[in-house]
Structure 1
Amino acid sequence: MSTWTEFLTITGVSALLLTALQAVTFAIGHRLGRYNVVDVSWGLGFVLVAAVSAALGDGDPGRRVLVLALVTVWGLRLSWHMHRKSVGRGEDPRYRELLDRAGGATLGTVARKVFVTQGAAQWFVSLPVQLSAVLGPAHGAGRIVMTMGVALWAVGAAFEAVGDRQLRAFKADPANRGRIMDSGLWAWTRHPNYFGDACVWWGLWLVCAGVWPGAVTVGSPIAMTYFLVYATGARLLEQSMSRRPGYREYQARTGYFLPRPPRG
């Protein structure tokens, strides 16, 4: 089987699995009456794609195992975190506002705006993972690029995990009720979890880019960054948070996405 035939097989199977995952998630969300369950399936979808790619790909075995491990660690942690965050609670304000602007939470609108969009995003963002599985081993400078990718992934995973843990501990303290989290990583960026997410996927792209033509999938981390900053991540969260007392002041002294020292 040629490299490109193998890639087409992987990307086709990935698309089918993501479609099935989103259909099941949509059914669960409809039964629960809240569609933020889609956040739980976000990380799981990437783990599915990584597993399929590692199993069906015939590229460098070491990199296939490495990419599967990196995506699995990131994806399972994120899905578990989102489950703990959303279980027993109502709809996420981001999705409520998104659906309100689209004309209401009809089944068709929900399916199109939330689940179809997320499934397509998962497929496109995971293209480096899919392509990496059919490419040969890296040599020379390619190994250095891959090492840089793993290092960037580690930075991103740490930012995301530590930021989520700090926010969870802050919210668990009754003394912080009504206050804005502005300590730890949250003093350096208003969205350490989203920043970490972006670093993870730029790192995974570098792991793939260490072997030609892996670099051509650069649109995938660009798209992920766009989702995190503008489409469904930070921008929507800021719209709801800006109505809370003290958030405007927090915005003035803390970086939006990229970390920077807090202003006085």
Structure 2
Amino acid sequence: MATVLLVFAFAAAMMALGWRWQRRHTNIGIVDVLWACGVGIAAAVAALLGEGAVVPRALLASLGAAWGLRLAAHLWQRVRSEPEDGRYRHLRAHWDGHQGRIFGFFQFQALLVVLFALPFVAVAANPRDDAWGWWLAAVAVWIGSVAGEAIADRQLARFRADPANRGRTCREGLWRYSRHPNYFFEWLHWFAYVLLAVGSPLWWLALSGPVVMFVFLRWISGIPFTEQQALRTRGDDYRAYQRSTPMLFPWFPSDDAPRTEEHSR
């Protein structure tokens, strides 16, 4: 409980500062940077305050913090160098720029930091110091998923940086096999903590990571927002991409449609 309260207090304060930043810069996108940073820090806090064995806690701190900081750094590069993401411009317009609602949105993200810290609490309570097979599997899942997400992010960034690709969708590399490969690997990454929690009395709590992440990505804030924005800006062009390319889980496209659209994270 102490870990959860500390994480919430930190996340709420951080999001309040982020809200002030967005008022000055008119860019709600900073909330994504702070969420990733907050979840990464939550992993380190849970590991520090946990009472489990040293090895799973050390792995939790290392893997969780590294994941969060990598994602935060990637998102910060976009926030500081690009105009406000179209999804957030639409949200700001929908709320008529009401700063009270925007503040509430930022504080809701603080609650999500706490929600996604629950798997870390499960790992930090793991008393086992001999589960090397599970731990190696966790590290393998973490490496594969974080590398996959980084590759997808880099492929999209390279595509978007080329002026010749303006108005076209990225179907290069991993984006040919999934409309959201970055989200797929983001979801996959949470299974690393399920494996690290094997043997913990709170093991079941670690399942909340992949379950909640899938729900948010698939139905709430990930894919729906991203695809609504793409449909607003690309229309029938993006609908063709939807018909030819799997939404989340990578698979071969149904045809070799021309690369005619731009896709954003």
TM-score (norm 2): 0.88
Q: Are residue 182 (structure 1) and residue 171 (structure 2) matched?
A: yes
Shift, 1:65, TM fit: 1.0
Residue of 89, 98, 123 corresponding to 1:96: 89
Partner-residue secondary structure (3-state), 1:90: coil
Partner-residue secondary structure (3-state), 1:126: helix
Q: Partner amino acid for 2:20?
A: A
Unpaired segments ≥5 residues, structure 2: 256-265
The separation in 2 between residues aligned to 1:104 and 1:146, in whole angstroms, is 49
Q: Partner amino acid for 1:224?
A: M
The separation in 1 between residues aligned to 2:213 and 2:181, in whole angstroms, is 15
Which runs of structure 2 are paired with 1:167-178 in the superposition (5 Å)?
A: 167-178=156-167
Shift, 1:181, TM fit: 0.3
The separation in 1 between residues aligned to 2:202 and 2:229, in whole angstroms, is 41
| Deviations 1:90-147 (CA, angstroms, capped at 9, x unpaired) | 221212333444x4331111112x21221111111111112321321155xx654444
| Deviations 1:139-190 (CA, angstroms, capped at 9, x unpaired) | 5xx6544443333222221221000000111112222121110120000101
Shift, 1:203, TM fit: 2.1
Which runs of structure 2 are paired with 1:62-141 in the superposition (5 Å)?
A: 62-101=55-94, 103-112=95-104, 114-137=105-128, 139=130
Q: What residue in structure 1 maps to residue 208 of structure 2?
A: 219
Shift, 1:215, TM fit: 1.9
The separation in 2 between residues aligned to 1:53 and 1:213, in whole angstroms, is 13
Change (3 A) 1:20 1:262: same
The separation in 1 between residues aligned to 2:138 and 2:40, in whole angstroms, is 18
Q: Are residue 249 (structure 1) and residue 249 (structure 2) matched?
A: no
Q: Are residue 149 (structure 1) and residue 145 (structure 2) matched?
A: no
Shift, 1:33, TM fit: 1.5
Q: What residue in structure 1 maps to residue 37 of structure 2?
A: 44
Count of aligned positions: 253
TM-score (norm 1): 0.89
Unpaired segments ≥5 residues, structure 1: 1-7
The separation in 2 between residues aligned to 1:85 and 1:69, in whole angstroms, is 25
Q: Is the CA contact (8 Å cut-off) linking 1:205 and 1:218 kept in structure 2?
A: yes
| Deviations 1:33-92 (CA, angstroms, capped at 9, x unpaired) | 221111111211012212212222221111111111111221111111111112143221
Change (3 A) 1:148 1:221: same
Shift, 1:20, TM fit: 1.3
Q: Partner amino acid for 2:234?
A: R
Q: Is the CA contact (8 Å cut-off) linking 2:179 and 2:248 kept in structure 1?
A: yes
Residue of 23, 42, 45 corresponding to 1:30: 23
Q: What residue in structure 2 maps to residue 259 of structure 1?
A: 250
The separation in 2 between residues aligned to 1:224 and 1:95, in whole angstroms, is 20
The separation in 2 between residues aligned to 1:129 and 1:238, in whole angstroms, is 31
Q: Are residue 10 (structure 1) and residue 3 (structure 2) matched?
A: yes
Q: Is the CA contact (8 Å cut-off) linking 1:138 and 1:210 kept in structure 2?
A: no
The separation in 1 between residues aligned to 2:60 and 2:16, in whole angstroms, is 26
Shift, 1:210, TM fit: 4.1
Over the residues paired in the alignment, what is the CA RMSD in angstroms? 1.8
Q: Is the CA contact (8 Å cut-off) linking 2:244 and 2:253 kept in structure 1?
A: yes
Partner-residue secondary structure (3-state), 1:261: coil
The separation in 2 between residues aligned to 1:216 and 1:58, in whole angstroms, is 16
Q: Is the CA contact (8 Å cut-off) linking 2:47 and 2:58 kept in structure 1?
A: yes
Q: Partner amino acid for 2:186?
A: D
User: How many percent of aligned residue pairs carry the same amino acid?
Assistant: 32
Shift, 1:262, TM fit: 1.6
Moved more, 155-164 or 223-232: 223-232
Partner-residue secondary structure (3-state), 1:105: coil
